Amino acid sequence: MTTVSDRYDPGPQIAQVGSINIGTRDIEKSLWFFRDLLGMEEVQRDGNVAYLRCYQEFGHHSLVLTEQDDAIVNAFSFRTRRPEDVELFYNDLQAQEIEAVEIPAGHEAGRGTAVRFLLPGGDHPFELYYDIDKPEADPSLRSRLPSNSSRRRGLGVRRIDHFNIQTAPGRINQAEQWVRDNLGFKRREFAKFADSNTIMASWMSVTAQMHDLAIVANFEEKSAQMHHLAFNLESFSDSLAAADILRDLDVSYGAGPGKHGIGQAMYLYVHDPGSDHRVELYSGGYLIFDPDWDPLEWKAVDFPEGLTWYGDPIDTTPGNRGRDTTGSAPLYLSRQLA
Ligand SMILES: [Fe+2]
C-alpha cells in the first residue's frame, strides 16, 4: 500500500530551526551561561567545542560553542523534512550557481551530511542537514517525563526558538525573497521603510510559529550580522522569574521583560558573557494554522509599538554590540572547511 507521501512529492523542505554554532572567546564563561544558568544539557565536549541542547530537545544539539578568537556565528543550521532533501537543496543551489559545499557527517558531532552556503543577499553562513543523533541524557539528568530529554533545570530553556539576522538595506529584499522562494519560509509579519519598497524587517516561518527566522535591515549597511538567537521558555511567568534571577547576577542585561506587538511574545534580552552574543529568552506568542495567512504589514509610524507593545525599548544594533557577528566573505566558506 502506498501512502500519500509516496504519491506526492512536495520537493525539498525545511522542517525547523536546528542549531547555531557560535564562536566564543571564553567557552567556560559561555558554558556557565548556557548550561549552568539557562539549564541546557552539555551533551558532548570535544576539546574547544561543546554541544548543548535544551530539556525538550531530543536531537544531539541545538547550540554549538566553539572557542575561537572571533565571536562570529559559524553556522545557522536548519533541519530538512526528509533525508533526501539535503541533496535536493544542494542540487538547487548548484543550479542557481550559488557556491555550496557538502560538509561530511560528524563535522558537527552527532550530525549527518550537511550542505553549506552563504545566504544570497545576506552572506550569513547557512547549513542544511537532516540526520542527527538522539542520544539519551546521562542517567543523573534524565526526566521521568518521556517528552523531556532531560530534567528541567536552571531558567528552563526548553528549545531553540528562532534566529534574528540583519543584512544591508540594499540587499535585504533579495535575502528575504530568496528564503521564501527557495527554503519555503512564509512571510508572517513585515514592515517596509516609509515610502519605499525596501523591507525593513520580515518575520517568517516554516512551522506554525509566527517566526522561525527574522531578517532585519542593518543600518550600518553590513550584510551579515546577527541580532540575536532565541530560546523558548514555557510561559510569561518564566520570563519574569528569569529577569528576577538575572538581575542579581553578573550578566549584561539588554531589555525586557516586555511584550512584542509583532508576534505577541514576551522578550527578555541578555548577553552571553563568553561570546557577548545577544540571547533572547522568548515566551508566548501566537501560532498560525491558516494556510492562506495574509502577511501583516506594520507601517513605519506604528513600528515602535510593534517592537515593544509594553516594556523597555529594544536595542536594534547588531548582536554583540557592533563587532562583526558572522563571517561575511565567500572566502569564509572555504576557509572553514580547509
Ligand atoms: Fe526574537
Q: How far is the CA of 213 from the centre of ligand 1 (A)?
A: 9
Those residues with Cβ within 8 angstroms of residue 26's Cβ, 6 or more apart along the chain or in another chain: 67, 273, 274, 275
pLDDT tens profile 236-261: 999 999 999 999 998 888 888 999 99
What is the predicted pLDDT for the residue at 219? Answer: 85
From the number of C-beta atoms within 10 Å of its C-beta (0-12, 13-18, 19+), residue 197 rates as: exposed
- Residue boundaries of the structural domains of the chain: 9-139+152-337
pLDDT in tens, 74-121: 999 999 999 999 999 999 999 999 999 999 999 999 999 999 999 999
Strand order in the sheet with 63-67: 41-46, 49-53, 63-67, 14-24, 73-80, 125-129, 114-118, 100-103
Ligand 1 centroid–CA 278 distance in Å is 10
Alpha carbon of 282 to ligand 1 centroid (Å): 7
Give the Å distance between the CA of 266 and the centre of ligand 1: 9
- Say whether domain 9-139+152-337 belongs to CATH 3.10.180.10: yes
Q: Has residue 338 got a pLDDT over 60? A: no
SS3 for 296?
Answer: strand
Ligand 1 centroid to residue 38 C-alpha, Å = 17
DSSP at 30: H
Distance 305 CA to ligand 1 centre (A): 15
pLDDT of amino acid 192: 95
pTM for the structure as a whole: 0.93
CA end-to-end span of the chain, whole Å?
Answer: 47
pLDDT at 204: 98
Coil, helix or strand for 317? coil
CA–centroid distance, residue 47 to ligand 1 (Å): 31
CB atoms within 10 A of CB 92: 17
CA–centroid distance, 308 to ligand 1, in Å, is: 12
pLDDT per residue over 16-52, tens digit each? 999 999 999 999 999 999 999 999 999 999 999 999 9
Residues paired with residue 297 on neighbouring β-strands, in sequence order: 190
Supply the pLDDT for residue 35: 98
Would you place residue 299 in the very low, low, confident or very high pLDDT band (cuts 50, 70, 90)? Answer: very high
Query: Given pLDDT bands bounded at 50, 70 and 90, which one contains residue 325?
Result: very low
The pLDDT assigned to 4 comes to: 74
Å from CA of 163 to ligand 1 middle: 7
pLDDT of residue 324 exceeding 50, the answer is: no
Cell of 57: 530537545
Q: SS3 for 177?
A: helix
Q: Average pLDDT of 62-80? A: 95
What grid cell was written down for 193? Answer: 521603510
Residue 335 reports pLDDT greater than 70: no
Res. 318 pLDDT band, cuts 50 70 90: low
Q: How does pLDDT run across 118-152, given as a tens digit for each residue?
A: 999 998 999 999 999 999 999 999 999 999 999 99
213-241 per-position pLDDT tens digit: 999 999 888 888 999 999 999 999 999 99
Percent residues over pLDDT 70 in the chain? 93
8 A C-beta contact, residue 328 and residue 225: no
